[in-house]
Amino acid sequence: MAFVLPLGFLGAGIPFAMNREGPTLTLIGGFALVMTALAPFLWLELLTLRRMATPDVLMLSPTAFRMTLAGRTRTIPWARLGTPALQRLSGRSAARSIVVPVAGGSNLVISAEEYTIGANDLVKALSQAKAGLPIDMPARASQAAYLYIAIPASTLVLGIVIFGMTAILTN
């Protein structure tokens, strides 16, 4: 939202400037540039809201592995799954994924970075569930960096931008 609101205000203000001064090439180009920059942020915001409303869930039972992604549930019996392994799927990304071979030639890929527990703990839980052992509950990852750095920093940036835009509009 720290980027959506300022760009949205700017994008909404440009048509008013076009109405007052007439459509110039500069205003039309600026409007296209702002809308191009705003579109990915809006998409990410909608994706975040969807994931908050229906989060992705992994459920481990003694008989099967159940995974709900984007509202669709997929259930695979443990007998069809191979040994889970932690991998980086892209050489350019630091994000790790868990790859589980499925009988029939395909692989089940779990984006480990998207869950609240650590990737190594997730691999351990999958291995224990596949073996039929009780699952050791992993410790939840600390949210301190998010709570004490990311939220205040984005709020500060949003406040500065809104203050600046208010100053521009009042002048």
Q: What is the pLDDT of residues 137-151, one digit of tens each?
A: 766 666 677 678 877
The model carries a pTM of 0.55
pLDDT of residue 14: 84
**Is 127 among the domain residues?**
yes
Contacts of 99 (CB under 8 A, 6+ apart): 84, 85, 87, 89, 107, 108, 109, 110
- Assess whether pLDDT exceeds 80 at residue 165: no
117 and 66 in a common domain: yes
pLDDT of residue 89: 72
62 and 116 in a common domain: yes
Domain residues for the domain of 87 are: 57-131
**Is 141 among the domain residues?**
no
46 and 66 in a common domain: no
Rounded mean pLDDT, 97-108: 83
Query: What sign has the CA pseudo-torsion 145, 147, 153, 154?
Result: positive
Query: Distance (Å, rounded) from C-alpha 34 to C-alpha 109?
Result: 36
pLDDT in tens, 23-43: 888 888 888 988 898 889 889
pLDDT confidence bin for 92, thresholds 50/70/90: low
71 and 126 in a common domain: yes
Query: Distance (Å, rounded) from C-alpha 35 to C-alpha 38?
Result: 5
Tell me which H or E stretch contains 86. Answer: strand 85-87
Query: Kind of pairing, strands 97-101 and 85-87?
Result: antiparallel
Query: What sign has the CA pseudo-torsion 9, 15, 19, 22?
Result: positive
24 and 7 in a common domain: yes
Rounded to the nearest 10 degrees, what angle do helices 4-21 and 151-170 cross at? 20
41 and 5 in a common domain: yes
Domains: count for the chain:
2
